[in-house]
Amino acid sequence: MGRIKAAVLLLLAAALTLTPGCADLNESDKLTIVPGLGFDREGGEYALITEIVSEPEAEGSAGKPQSSLIDSRGRTITEAINNNILLSGNILYYAHVQVIVIGREAAERGIWEYIDYVNGQNSFRLMLRPIVADGSAAELMQAKALKTDVSSFELREILASNERIYRAPDIPIYRLANDILEEGIEGILPLAHIEDNQGEPTSKIAGTALFVGDRLAGTLDETETQYLLWLRGKVEGGTVTLGKDVFEVIEGKTSLECGRNTVKIKLSVRMSAEEGSFDGERTERELKELIESDIAGLVKKLQTLGCDAAGFGRRLKRANAGEWREVAENWREQFGRLEVTVAAEPSVTVFKRTNR
């Protein structure tokens, strides 16, 4: 028994040799942190723009991280990424990637290969946000960041702030991947533009890129984006402009009754107004007409594009699987023929700061 106990102790002691830490660790100075990537297509090649962050220099930088862009190319995404390492010299660390910018041309050719690449790599996080550039990804990433020197961080912050004002969708990559793979719904992404800000090009995220399958099929402006987000079931923000008056959305609820030939949209929304801009029932009636016609116009536009971005098909599938099976195969055509009715019920609350 003594010998057995000695053997067990020896085995346990040997196991301790496995515990000191990672066998192949990399010191942080050997890693280059990547906060964002951009993909463009140029001819048959993939153009990859990688933003890298370096340590702040001691003097003159006020502790701000320094950012620079690396441009590399390849016949495949993997080749472009490998070529990147040849230029940077360091191991690129992708776990901090916040955004992936996809150029318009690349989006029109199909985005699944980028999503699939990111999904398959353990180094990327599933919460990163893809963005479609209304031009090339390179131009957007070169645009000046206003608050920091790292444009990818800034793009992520703009997206996060959009969550309350409903001017662009904030979609993590896993949700986009599921929308592309699932029947009865199409993928949407935020759309980014370059705008002139005091003589310098800066990035602005506003509007929606619509996909049919994995290909860019069209875009929505800021107002249409707000209504699309409402149809997707989340009414927690946004504004409605009636003439010169602006009504801020407090909360609301969308209910969709989806059949194979008809869709009934019911929307109740509570808004706030300045005292002077509210004229009782008349204002509410005008708001109702405006919202109903805007939503009907949006649905018509989606039907023309054959893009069920609101997910009417998915609603039908969840509510009535038998009926869905009959139309599933030709849903895009069927979606174009749907008879859609909209009923909005706006209510306005007046908030006063003074007793006047």
Partner 1 sequence: MKEQITGKQLAYLLLVFLMGGGATVGLRNADRDSWIAYALLMLLSAPVLYMYHRLAVLRAEYAADARGKTFERLSAAAAGVYGLAAVGMNALMLDFFCDFLSSTALTHTSRLMPVVFMSVTVFILAVCRSDAAARICTVIFVLTLLFAVLALAAALPQLDFGAVLPVFENGVAGMTDALFTAAAMQLGFAFFPVTALAPALKGKWGGYAVCGGAAACLIMTVHSARDIMLLGYPLISLYRFPAYTAMEVVHVSELTQRLEMLTAIVYVMCQPVKAALCLRLLTNAAEKRRQGGRYAAAAAAVALAAGITMLIKNVDGYRIMRAARMPAIILLIALPAAYWAALELRRLLRKNKKTSPPFE
Instruction: Pick from 12, 58, 62, 86 the residue near partner 1 by CB under 8 A.
Output: 12
Is the CB of residue 187 less than 8 Å from the CB of residue 179? yes
Instruction: Pick from 11, 58, 62, 86 the residue near partner 1 by CB under 8 A.
Output: 11
Q: Which residue stretch of 124-132, 162-170, 210-218, 224-232 sits at the interface with partner 1 (rule: CB under 8 A)?
A: 124-132
# residues contacting partner 1 (CB under 8 A): 28
Instruction: Pick from 87, 160, 321, 350 the residue near partner 1 by CB under 8 A.
Output: 321
CA-based nearest residue to 98, from 145, 37, 55: 37
DSSP 351: -
Our finding on whether 182 is near partner 1 (CB under 8 A) is: yes
Is the CB of residue 100 less than 8 Å from the CB of residue 118? yes
Task: Give pairs for 245-249: CB < 8 Å, separation 24+.
Answer: 245/273, 245/274, 245/277, 245/283, 246/277, 247/271, 247/272, 247/273, 247/277, 247/287, 247/346, 247/348, 248/272, 248/273, 249/166
Our finding on whether 160 is near partner 1 (CB under 8 A) is: no
Is the CB of residue 315 less than 8 Å from the CB of residue 262? no
Instruction: Pick from 82, 181, 236, 326 the residue near partner 1 by CB under 8 A.
Output: 181
Rounded Cα–Cα distance for residues 256 and 325 (Å):
19
Is the CB of residue 54 less than 8 Å from the CB of residue 69? no
CA-based nearest residue to 348, from 287, 266, 306, 289: 287
Our finding on whether 82 is near partner 1 (CB under 8 A) is: no
CA-based nearest residue to 334, from 191, 183, 211, 190: 183
Between CA 269 and CA 277, with CA 272 as vertex, the angle to 5 degrees is 120
Residue 126 C-beta: closest distance to partner 1, Å: 5
Our finding on whether 28 is near partner 1 (CB under 8 A) is: no
Q: Which is nearer to partner 1, 87 or 95 (CB)?
A: 95
Instruction: Pick from 178, 241, 293, 349 the residue near partner 1 by CB under 8 A.
Output: 178
Q: Which residue stretch of 22-30, 65-73, 152-160, 279-287 sits at the interface with partner 1 (rule: CB under 8 A)?
A: 22-30
CA-based nearest residue to 36, from 111, 128, 117: 128
Our finding on whether 22 is near partner 1 (CB under 8 A) is: yes
Our finding on whether 27 is near partner 1 (CB under 8 A) is: no
CB atoms within 10 A of CB 61: 12
Rounded Cα–Cα distance for residues 160 and 168 (Å):
10
Q: Which residue stretch of 12-20, 61-69, 199-207, 282-290 sits at the interface with partner 1 (rule: CB under 8 A)?
A: 12-20
Q: Which is nearer to partner 1, 183 or 221 (CB)?
A: 183
Our finding on whether 9 is near partner 1 (CB under 8 A) is: no
Rounded Cα–Cα distance for residues 149 and 178 (Å):
33
Instruction: Pick from 131, 317, 331, 342 the residue near partner 1 by CB under 8 A.
Output: 317
Instruction: Pick from 73, 96, 144, 175 the residue near partner 1 by CB under 8 A.
Output: 175
Residue 177 C-beta: closest distance to partner 1, Å: 5
Residues at the interface with partner 1 (CB under 8 A): 1, 4, 7-8, 11-12, 14-15, 18, 22-24, 119, 122, 125-127, 172, 174-175, 177-178, 181-182, 317-318, 321, 324
